Structures are given as C-alpha cells and as structure tokens.
Amino acid sequence: MNQDLLPVKVLQIGMTRNIGGLETYLMQQFDHLDRNKVVYDFVNITNEYDIVFADKIRKAGSKIFGVCSRHKNPLKHYWQWIKLLRKESKNYKAIVLNTNSLEYIFPLFLGKIMGIPVRIIHSHNGGFENKIGQIRRALISFNRILMKWSVTDYFACSNLAGQWMFGNTQPFTVIHNAINTKDLVFNDKVRQIKRSELKLDDEDFVVGHVGRFVYQKDHEFLIDVFNEVHNKEVEAKLLLIGDYVGDDTYYKKALEQVKRLNLEESVLFLGIRHDVAELMQAMDCFVMPSRFEGLTVVGVEAQACGLPCFFSDNITKELKLVDGLCYFIDKKLEKKTWADIILKKSAVTRRDTSKDLSLADYDIDTEVNKIMSFYLKEKI
C-alpha cells in the first residue's frame, strides 16, 4: 500500500482514569480529528486501571497499550515500555508526552532510541502538585538534560506553562486548550433539568467548581470562601465535581471541613461526571482558587457557558477570554472579601460567548486544523 495514503499515527501518553484538563484536551482533539489523515493511539502508563473514555477510544478504532505503574514496579514498567516500542515504534511518526512535570520523560528518551521521528513534550501545568525535595529536584535537573537530547518539539497549554517547564530560552508552541464551543452555549432548558435533578430550588445561588482533590486545587480555601458566601446567602449551594486519584488525603480533608462548618446540606460532592457541560448550565458562578495552573480547560468551558468566573491571581491572565466574566482575585485577601466580590459580580445575564472564544482561538476546529497541519507537515 502507498504509504502516502496512510494516516499519520501519533502515540499519546498522559491519559489517566480521571476526567481532568489533560484528558479533556486530548479527547476534544480525538473527537475532531480527520482519522483518514491523523490517528491517535494511547499508552496507559498505570495499567492497573483503565483510562477514562477507554470504551469510546476503542470503539473509534484506536488502540490503548498498557504498561504497569512505575511506582509499583519500576523495573517491570521500563521493561514493558522497551517491549512495546521495540514492537510498535515503526508504526508511529510521533510520540507525545503530555505531562505536568519533568519527573518522567523516559518514553521520549526511548522513542529516540527506537527511531520515532517526532518526539513532543507538552506542558500542561504551571507548578508542582506537592512540595519537592532534593531528590526530586535532582531528578528534574537530570531530565532537563535528557529532554534536550530526546525531544524534537516543545508544546505548552499557555505561555506560563511553557516558561515554567522549559525555561525562558527554549522556544515552544502554545496549543490552546480548545473546546467545542457550540456544546456549551447557555441553555436555560438544560439548566432547569439539571437543577431539578440535583434538587436545587430556583432561588438557590449555585457556586461551581471542577477539579481533582489535590494540593494544587486548594479545596480548603474554596470551602472557606463558600462558607462566607453561605453566611451572606443562606440558599447558596456548592457543587464539587471531581474525585481523587490514589491519594484521598485532600478529599477526606474536604469532607471533614464541610462537616465542621455544618455545610453538609449545602455542599454536594458529585464525584467524576460525564455531564460537566450540563452541570455548568445549572451553576450561577464558577470559582477556582488554585495555587497554580497551566491553563485550566474547565475555566475555558465555564466562560463558554457564560458563567462569571472567579480565579485566584496565581492563574495566568491568558485565561481571560471573555470580557466582563473573568475576575482574578488576590489569594491574600480575606475570604469575606472573596465572597463579597463573588456575590456582587455574579449578577449577570448569561449569553452566547462562542464568538468571543473563537476570536481568542479557543474553538476546537481552529486548533485541530493547526495540530493536524503540524503532523501532516512532519509526514515522512
């Protein structure tokens, strides 16, 4: 068969069992690719459980390879990678490591040894999820050297994420965390359906948040802010969408905090959901007081829904895509001040913001064409 008629095959790494920003980013692209030209396959690097959207990926005809967790069995993990790429590397023109840190870049190093022509590292974060000690710092320093030898192309979800991971001297390409804006246009009918399902009254003021229970997201701060909102607006409700992966420390802390503040009837822990877009319709505002972010996909989605968004000033201002909806608040301010700003600025009329996001290059069709052009340009 003429090789020019075959699609470019790309091996994507980084998907987990959780629906996070990275997973949403990859699936938005996956859903909109022209599979006659570019095909994504995936590697599950913690094969003890399936990655999210696995059934959908396989149904579309793509493959999911598995290697065991390096944390549980490092030697087996690396050996399985070697066996995998020894067998499959000839089938792929590109390998992409979607990552939140430089603690792990082995697949790109191995990809070079095995002859995969295009080796991409894609930064999806702007800080460390936990405090790092000397050993982790040493590992990251070593991997920076390895990265320069292994990587052909550098991607990032924002300028902040790129500078944080690659430094100021390494050029990189920003690939926006684009979405299908048409799926998120405000719909009052969906809003009423979802509020009814959640047993929310019309007068309830609904604060929303989407994120894993990890240090990065700072749920403790969020719940304290909501407590102040609730003190001023007794009908307020907080929707917490997301779960924990492995370590449940911050999830348990959130449960204990809600109980201690007597907010059990006002805070809804919804876990992992596949209807986040619909749940956003039910909200009245979106709050994300993260300690750091790359460029959060849910922040883009919230603006697409026409929601007033309140972000910590730790989050890049690149996230401001729609005028009059985004507010970046100093984390040093009192929680009461946060509550006052949220209540004051949430009184808006929801509108269609899809044109705003398209003009900012956050429409999925624009970004998919961009990324497909890159892979097709690299076709050998």
Q: Which has more pLDDT, 274 or 337?
A: 337
Ranked by mean pLDDT, which of 4-13, 122-131, 188-197 comes out on top? 188-197
Q: What are phi and psi of 200, to 5 degrees?
A: -100, 135
Distance CA 120, CA 97 (A): 6
Among 75-79, 129-133, 364-368, whose mean pLDDT is lowest?
129-133
SS (H, E, C) the chain: CCHHHCCEEEEEECCCCCCCHHHHHHHHHHHHCCCCCEEEEEEECCCCCCCCCHHHHHHCCCCEEECCCCCCCHHHHHHHHHHHHHHHHHHCCEEEEEECCCCCCHHHHHHHHCCCCEEEEEECCCCCCCCCCHHHHHHHHHHHHHHHHHCCEEEECCHHHHHHHHCCCCCCEECCCCECHHHHCCCHHHHHHHHHHCCCCCCCCEEEEECCCCHHHCHHHHHHHHHHHHHHCCCCEEEEECCCCCCCHHHHHHHHHHHHCCCCCCEEEEECCCCHHHHHHHCCEEEECCCCCCCCHHHHHHHHCCCCEEEECCCCHHHCCCCCCEEEECCCCCHHHHHHHHHHHCCCCCCCCHHHHHHCCCEHHHHHHHHHHHHHHCCC
Tell me the domains of the chain and their CATH numbers. Answer: 3-178+363-377 (3.40.50.2000), 181-359 (3.40.50.2000)
pLDDT in tens, 193-205: 999 999 999 999 9
Among 12-21, 296-305, 316-325, whose mean pLDDT is lowest?
12-21
For residues 125-147, b (16+ Cβ closer than 10 Å) or e, as one string? bbbbeeeeeeeeeeebeebeeeb
For residues 276 and 183, the answer to whether their CB atoms sit within 8 Å is: no
Q: What are phi and psi of 145, to 5 degrees?
A: -65, -45
Burial class (CB in 10 A: 0-12, 13-18, 19+), 162: buried
What does the pLDDT average to over 287-307?
94
Q: How high is the pLDDT of residue 4?
A: 63
Q: How high is the pLDDT of residue 126?
A: 80
Distance CA 56, CA 218 (A): 32
For residues 188 and 278, the answer to whether their CB atoms sit within 8 Å is: no
Distance CA 227, CA 221 (A): 10
Among 81-85, 127-131, 288-292, whose mean pLDDT is lowest?
127-131
Report the predicted TM-score, pTM, of the whole model to 2 decimal places.
0.88
Say yes or no to pLDDT of 283 above 80: yes
pLDDT in tens, 25-47: 999 999 999 999 999 999 999 88
pLDDT in tens, 206-253: 999 999 999 999 999 999 999 999 999 999 999 999 998 778 999 999
Distance CA 244, CA 178 (A): 25
Could you identify the residue written with the tokens 């095995």? 114
Q: Provide the pLDDT confidence category of residue 380 given band limits of 50, 70 and 90.
A: very low
Q: How high is the pLDDT of residue 130?
A: 57
Sort strands 237-241 and 206-210 into parallel, antiparallel or unpaired.
parallel
Say yes or no to pLDDT of 1 above 70: no
Q: Which has more pLDDT, 361 or 379?
A: 361
Q: How high is the pLDDT of residue 246?
A: 76
What does the pLDDT average to over 114-136?
85
What does the pLDDT average to over 306-330?
96
Distance CA 278, CA 155 (A): 30
pLDDT in tens, 68-87: 999 899 999 999 999 999 99
pLDDT in tens, 257-269: 999 999 999 999 9
